[in-house]
Chain A
């Protein structure tokens, strides 16, 4: 006797909560029956075709229980036992999907329901359709966006109901377009004509797909028999395409800017060590790699000791990457490079040797395989600018980051005492020394600054690419390319060269493919350097040839 009494209240509570939830989501005062057993059985146990038919029934019934069940199904919470019984498993507890009764203990050998893409598409569309009448505006907007291009005839009643209630102009416009795309299949040419006209207002690529299908010719038969509808479809298609092209251009410029910002980060450190100090540092790429590995270490420390703050590990990784790379760079300068000033060939060979040693060292320490640097949650995903342009957060963050680094470097060189000394020493070492500047120390600090910036680049690169011992090798050529193209000796040229190369590369890639684009860029740089060896921006004045 005790057991059922003990169990009743939570079950009752759960039902009450569901009712409250349902009434919050749906029209108040409308009571609805639970999902019929036949539908649940078809959804859980049927073949694909049965399942799709059952999804259609759920949409037709516009049932809140149905929405819940579909969400559970999509989430993998619905399982089957021995191909007979459908159960819902949540937090280790199982409930019979038809009767709602607890099953304790959860049955053994329950199997997941395997959804393929076709089923998932149907279920997602059904969920979106059912959410069109949600009370929450953002939920409705998301549902309407999800439904673009995915609606079918069975959804017309629910669309009509949603349109009737909808007051938000943005959602209403979307709903009209969705309705029009379904009405294209109508047998009435007048309905189709007005639908095609309505589609002209869309800016989604799925509308383009629909319109192209109308204009298709199968053998001698047009997919759309009515010439007037076809003509109107052509006009609508052009309108949609115009909007899509704008999106594509924005996307290309953005990806160019993104590549440019990465090139800039990689080259900025080199612009100081090579550009200002004249050290041909072949180990620059490895300093980037060290920054990336530092990020990896910091990530591991956070994971082990502060999992709660894991999403913010980058905030600690950025200064650490700078410090570690800067220290490595300063040690290199003190131990090797300072003995080789003014001897470019020896510097080149020595730093190349150092780069090999660093690679092998990292390989020994961390293994030859790539290590995983996880993106914090706030850096995955993207913001949808237009229907066909999604700007990934990670790339937006890196563009912003490179801007900040650039600003700090500029401030350091122009507004600080160290910056003054650096400029003084690079312009005329002898005079600077006569004025009491400790030139050797300035060299060390300056090299440390350049190396530290390489470390920052590594930190950023770890978020979008692979982190392995060879990471630096793929950026060293690009970095030199940017610095040489921009003109050795100052920062502005590096910035223009990096962004210019990024955008040009991306436009070429879209036109000729990644392999050819890389070749064209290299050929262009070779020709450019032959015609203008001093780079885009040459220093003028007495110190230019020093």
Chain B
């Protein structure tokens, strides 16, 4: 009897409590903290890349909280692990939005995971900050893209390899993991190369499954293809497949001076644990490298090293920063600035306040959120791998470049608007 009575009162209490919290007009005001979702794979094939993004987001949250939080409230991180499983991304996103009622979510790496959560964010009017370079061809009012669009990474990299300085490549191997980002990027690159007079027979597209670990045939094929003229490889391999790929390159002696490999998803973190001495000279195109010399970057790398050490993160003995980490860091600070400008965490108002936000980025430039298209203006850097796994910047743009989410190299894109549909217009 007693027990049942207790249960009953407990249930009633819980129901009242939840009704109260539902009744509050804006959940964030009803609580003493602002909940922030962190949606990165902490296991599976993408964990190699995404785990540090979770950590850098938590670091930024700690920093913001140490300075008094946002709107006088502390941020509270809700970390979930979608485990490199694309449908699980959507489930976890729904959980963050409808159960945890997060004000904003920082997350995703692969485009397939972003595509999977996109309908959820649009349906529930959530807010997602996506920190990784991607293929473009998307513009949602609920997403801010703090990574590069193709014209901020892929196109400049290919142009560089075509130049005399970059080795004047005539033939191209487009090598990627088999999913939407590499396929779309390669479609754009193929159109771009054709516009530069490269024939179809001089372009070889190759795909491997996620988690592929045997790159013998691929490397042998690249060698064979390269005998037909000066060749460059554009790699959009994602996740931990990069480790066996680069090991195989090194073991088979495919040197960067003969066949340079430029990668779009390989940074300092992915090369950790690979012997980079045989890989010297292979390239990566990003909007940030750890080796960039700027006061903002010194501060960023120092903060990260201290954080990694304090939290005893794996690899804290050799703390590394990379481009998506920088993009994640910029993203959370811009969101904070926008919330402070809008004086609320209401999604529509924050979206409106995001336009034109600026932040002194670790890459040394002042990064600006475009007034319209939800993408950052970014400087482009091309780096060559050094023997210690860091990158030497061998080429960079003069200043920030505006993103073109709709690539002009895909037919029909010229008619598309450079602004997401359905944005609430809020009078200033």
What is A's interface to B at a CB cutoff of 8 Å?
48, 76, 112, 114-118, 120-121, 124, 205-206, 208-209, 212-213, 244, 248, 251-252, 255, 258-259, 262, 363, 367-370, 372, 374-375, 380-382, 384, 388, 390, 392-395, 464-466, 468-470, 474, 506, 509-510, 513-515, 518
Pick the contact of A255 from B43, B178, B220, B253 — CB < 8 Å?
B220
Report the separation of the CA atoms of residues A120 and B283 in the bound assembly, to the nearest whole angstrom.
14
CA distance A205 to B220 in the complex (A): 12
A251-B220, A368-B43, A370-B240 given; A213·B229 CB < 8 A: yes
In the bound complex, do residue B248 and residue A392 qualify as a contact, i.e. CB atoms below 8 Å apart?
yes
Give the complex CA separation of A255 and B44 in angstroms.
Answer: 27
Q: A130: shortest Cβ distance to chain B, in Å?
A: 17
The answer for the CA separation of A370 and B166 in the assembled complex, in Å, is 34
| Interface residues on chain B, size class | 35 or more
User: A252: shortest Cβ distance to chain B, in Å?
Assistant: 7
**B226 & A205 in contact (Cβ 8 Å cutoff):** yes
Residue B228, interface by CB 8 Å: yes
Contacting pair B226 A470 (CB below 8 A): no
Shortest B281–chain A CB gap in Å is 5
Which B residues, 233 to 275, have Cβ-Cβ distances below 8 Å to chain A? 240, 243-244, 247-248, 250-253, 256-257, 260, 272-273, 275
Are the CB atoms of A114 and B394 closer together than 8 Å?
Answer: yes
Q: Is the CB of A390 within 8 A of B214?
A: no
Given contacts A370-B47, A390-B251, contact A514 B218 (CB under 8 A): yes
27 CB-based A-B contacts, threshold 8 Å: A117-B167, A117-B256, A117-B260, A117-B281, A118-B165, A206-B227, A208-B227, A209-B229, A244-B227, A255-B217, A374-B275, A375-B247, A380-B251, A381-B278, A388-B223, A390-B252, A390-B253, A392-B252, A466-B240, A466-B243, A509-B217, A510-B217, A510-B220, A514-B206, A514-B209, A514-B212, A515-B207
Q: Is B63 an interface residue (CB 8 A)?
A: no
Given the complex, which residues of B lie within 8 Å of A248, measured CB to CB?
220, 224
Give the CA-CA distance A258 to B384 in the complex, in Å: 31
Q: Name the A residues within 8 Å of B384 (CB-CB).
A: 116-117
Chain B residues near A112 (CB-CB < 8 A): 392
Whose C-beta in chain A lies nearest to the C-beta of B223?
A388
Indicate whether B42 reaches chain A with its CB closer than 8 angstroms.
yes
Q: How far is the CA of A124 from the CA of B258 in the complex (A)?
A: 11
Q: Is the CB of A118 within 8 A of B164?
A: yes
Find out whether the CB atom of A510 lies under 8 angstroms from the CB atom of B227: no
From the candidates B221, B257, B275, B278, name the one contacting A121 in the complex (CB within 8 A): B257
Q: Are A382 and B256 in contact (CB under 8 A)?
A: no
Chain B residues near A258 (CB-CB < 8 A): 216
Beta-carbon contact of B47 and A468 below 8 Å: yes
Q: Which residue of B lies closest to A380 (CB)?
A: B275
A116-B394, A470-B43 given; 9 more Cβ-contact pairs under 8 Å: A117-B281, A262-B214, A368-B43, A370-B47, A375-B275, A380-B278, A381-B250, A506-B217, A513-B206
Instruction: Produce 1/0 per residue, B145-188, CB < 8 A to A.
Output: 00000000000000000001111000000000010000000000
How distant is the Cα of A363 from the Cα of B392 in the complex, in angstroms?
35
Q: How many Å lie between the Cα of A515 and that of B208 in the bound state? A: 6
| CA of A252 to CA of B213, assembled, Å | 17
Q: How far is the CB of B315 from chain A (nearest CB, A)?
A: 9
Q: Are B213 and A468 in contact (CB under 8 A)?
A: no
Question: Using Cβ atoms and an 8 Å threshold, which residues of chain A touch B240?
Answer: 370, 466, 468
Q: Given the complex of chains A and B, what is the CA–CA distance between A497 and B51 in angstroms? A: 39
Q: Given A369-B48, A509-B217, A518-B209, does the pair A118, B226 have CB atoms closer than 8 Å?
A: no
A211 to B283, CA, bound (A): 28
> How near does chain B come to A210, taking the closest CB pair, in angstroms?
10
Contact of B228 with A118 in the complex, beta carbons under 8 Å = no
Q: Is B420 positioned at the interface, with any CB of A under 8 Å from its CB? A: no
Output the least CB separation between B387 and chain A (Å).
8
Determine if B253 and A205 form an interchain contact, defined as CB atoms under 8 angstroms apart. Answer: no
Check: B364 CB closer than 8 A to any chain A CB.
Answer: no
Q: Give the complex CA separation of A367 and B218 in angstroms.
A: 31
The answer to whether B228 and A369 touch across the interface, beta carbons within 8 angstroms, is: no
CA of A469 to CA of B207, assembled, Å: 25
Chain A residues with Cβ below 8 Å from B228 are: 208-209, 212
For residue A363, give the distance in angstroms from its CB to the closest CB of chain B. Answer: 6
**Judging by beta carbons under 8 Å apart, are A368 and B51 in contact?**
yes
Query: Is A470's CB under 8 angstroms from B44's CB?
Result: yes
| Contact B165–A116 (Cβ < 8 Å) | yes
Is the Cβ of A117 less than 8 Å from the Cβ of B257? yes
Are B281 and A514 in contact (CB-based, < 8 A)?
no
Q: Does B211 contact A (CB under 8 A)?
A: yes
Smallest CB-CB A-B distances: 7 pairs: A372-B273, A368-B43, A392-B251, A255-B216, A205-B227, A465-B213, A121-B257
In the complex, whether B81 has a CB less than 8 A from a CB of chain A is yes
Complex: how many Å from CA A121 to CA B226?
16
With a cutoff of 8 Å between Cβ atoms, the chain A residues found around residue B257 in the complex are: 117, 120-121, 124
Please report the C-alpha to C-alpha distance between residue A262 and residue B278 in the assembled complex, in whole angstroms.
25
Complex: A76 Cα to B388 Cα, angstroms: 12
In the bound complex, CA of A522 to CA of B420 (Å): 44
Chain B residues contacting A468 (CB-CB under 8 Å) are 47, 240
B23 at interface, CB cutoff 8 A:
no
Q: Which of A48, A381, A393, A464 contacts B213 (CB 8 A)?
A: A464
Who on chain A is nearest to B214 by CB?
A: A259
B412 within 8 A of A: no
